[in-house]
């Protein structure tokens, strides 16, 4: 778990081990032990931007992801339904507009 390069550049192996340690002992304890800021790379790991290997999620994280996926799927279905309704309404309004335009043309010809 060594630093590479200049400044605060860490190799991928160090990052993975730091994330796994933070998951085991908590962010604060891991940060103190490693001498890095609390939560470093944890957000990127949660987003899947850092591959920490398979099976690194705890049950709480997996459940949370499943709940988020379920909520997202429900929202997609709601939006698809709303989109269909709006498309139908738009089609109706186009037909009504065409009807009234034709009716107006007919009444204009009779009075002219």
- pLDDT given for residue 41 in this prediction: 74
pLDDT at position 109 over 70 = no
The radius of gyration of the chain from alpha carbons, rounded to an integer in Å, stands at 29
Confidence of residue 110 (pLDDT cuts 50, 70, 90): low
Confidence of residue 6 (pLDDT cuts 50, 70, 90): very low
| Token digits of residue 5 | 């390069």
- pLDDT given for residue 58 in this prediction: 63
Least confidently predicted of 1-5, 22-26, 94-98:
1-5
């Amino acid at each position: 778990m060594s630093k590479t390069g200049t400044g605060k550049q860490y190799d991928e192996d160090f990052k993975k081990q730091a994330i796994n340690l933070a998951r085991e002992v908590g962010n604060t304890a891991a940060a103190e032990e490693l001498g890095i800021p609390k939560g470093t790379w944890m957000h990127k790991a949660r987003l899947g931007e850092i591959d920490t290997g398979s099976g690194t999620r705890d049950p709480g994280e997996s459940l949370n992801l499943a709940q988020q996926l379920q909520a997202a799927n429900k929202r997609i279905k709601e939006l698809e339904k709303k989109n269909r309704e709006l498309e139908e309404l738009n089609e109706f309004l186009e037909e009504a507009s065409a009807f009234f335009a034709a009716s107006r043309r007919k009444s204009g010809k009779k009075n002219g």
